[in-house]
Amino acid sequence: MINYPWGDQTPYYSFNWYLKQNYNHPVRKVTVDAGFTCPNRDGTVTTGGCTYCNNDSFNPSYNDRRKSLRWQIDQGIDFLSRRYGSEKYMVYFQPYSNTHAPLEELRQLYEEALQVPDVIGLTIGTRPDCVDEAKLDYLAELGRQFDVTIEYGLESISDTTLQRINRGHDVKAYETAMRMSAERGLKTCTHIIIGFPWEEETQWLETAAYLSEQKTTFLKVHQLHVVKNTAMAKEYQRMPFHVFGYEEYRQFLLKFIARLSPEIVLQRLAGEAPPNILIAPKWNVQMGSFIKDFRELCRQENIWQGKDYKP
Ligand code: SF4
């Protein structure tokens, strides 16, 4: 039996294991929609949004921006405690860019969330070009009392791709945000999409080495989804392009995690989108089965996170 550096028998450093190691109670994230928009939609940077983006693809049912923040947190806690027996919570500001407002407004929202009983921290999803010194200073201050993670969408390590998908920022913006966050001791999570049809496997594998160098605390990886009501869906319908098959993606992921630093905690290995908006790829596999199958594949192939990592 292999003794992995993170200390359990899962062949990669899973978020569940990280939570078990760091908290005395079962912890879950409660997702909220705090009514933000995004600089890539409201014209601050550009309009139209990223070509693949449809925020309906990641909202749980208890998220409703017309309802108060407190209502959403209470509903989320009620659901998660009954379903998973969780006892403590991180409020996850997920849809759109959750630092895209004046600092005073952010302060009010974040602190309202932190006052809810059993909430122990925040995860704040945003764009790398949507933070500044003052906002990060404030988050670092909160981070001394609570568990605070800032989550940056990078999506690709290629500036050409970032232009092509209308991200409205470059890789350098991500590096700057990561440096500013690290200087303040903030935990970071990076979101990356694998499978843009003009990219190649070598580039995706380089992404593992790149993210290891950037020392992101957490990582979310997911396969490209084509979802309804996006510019990418129109491109796909005009001229269908290759998307990952289930087996193909699993085989890719083996190589990817092998090149990844064993210190990065994997929060997500694949994405899910609601069937009513997903156009491709349609794997018809529940996330629980995906994870179970992938762990089994790692064991069969004798692969684990960091096996081929070269610092
Ligand atoms: S993916 Fe994020 S940055 Fe891009 S348009 Fe959607 S909310 Fe905005």
pLDDT tens for 80-135 read 999 999 999 999 999 999 999 999 999 999 999 999 999 999 999 999 999 999 99
Instruction: Indicate whether residue 166 lines ligand 1 (CB < 6 A).
Output: no
pLDDT value of position 61: 64
Instruction: Report the C-alpha gap between 11 and 269 in whole angstroms.
Output: 13
Nearest C-alpha neighbor of 95 from the set 143, 70, 120, 62: 62
pLDDT at position 47, please?
Answer: 87
**Which ligand 1 atom is nearest residue 95's CA?**
7
Residue with CA at minimum distance from ligand 1 atom 4: 50
Q: Considering only CA atoms, which residue is closest to atom 5 of ligand 1?
A: 49
> 260 is written with which tokens?
């990844």
Question: How many angstroms does the Cα of residue 168 sit away from the middle of ligand 1?
Answer: 9
Domain 15-301 has what CATH class? Answer: alpha beta
226-227-228-230 Cα dihedral, nearest 10 degrees:
-70
d(CA 281, CA 252): 15
pLDDT of residue 63: 74
**Domains in the chain: boundaries:** 15-301
Select from 36, 38, 222 the residue to mutate for testing ligand 1; criterion: most ligand atoms less than 8 Å from CB: 38
Tell me the best of 37, 45, 127 to mutate to test the pocket of ligand 1, counting ligand atoms within 8 Å of each CB and taking the most.
127
Output the CA 117–ligand 1 centroid distance in Å. 31
Which residue ranges in the chain fall short of pLDDT 50? none
Ligand 1 mean position, distance from CA 158 (Å): 17
- CB of 152 closer than 6 angstroms to any ligand 1 atom: no
Q: pLDDT at position 59, please?
A: 65
pLDDT in tens, 214-231: 999 999 999 999 999 999
In the reported structure, the alpha carbon of residue 49 is separated from the centroid of ligand 1 by a whole-number distance in angstroms of 6
Beta bridge partners of 115: none
| Ligand 1 pocket residue status of 128, Cβ below 6 Å | no
By most ligand atoms within 8 Å of CB, the mutation choice from 37, 45, 51, 97 for ligand 1 is: 97
Whole-number pLDDT of residue 58: 58
Task: Give nearest CA residue, ligand 1 atom 6.
Answer: 53
Q: How far is the CA of 302 from the centre of ligand 1 (A)?
A: 37
**Which pLDDT does position 114 carry in this prediction?**
98
| CA end-to-end span of the chain | 25
Give me the sheet containing 119-126, strands edge to edge. 27-32, 88-93, 119-126, 147-155, 187-194, 218-223, 265-268
**In this predicted structure, what is the pLDDT of residue 60?**
65
Taking CA atoms only, the protein residue closest to ligand 1 atom 2 is 96
Token readout for 85 is 């027996």
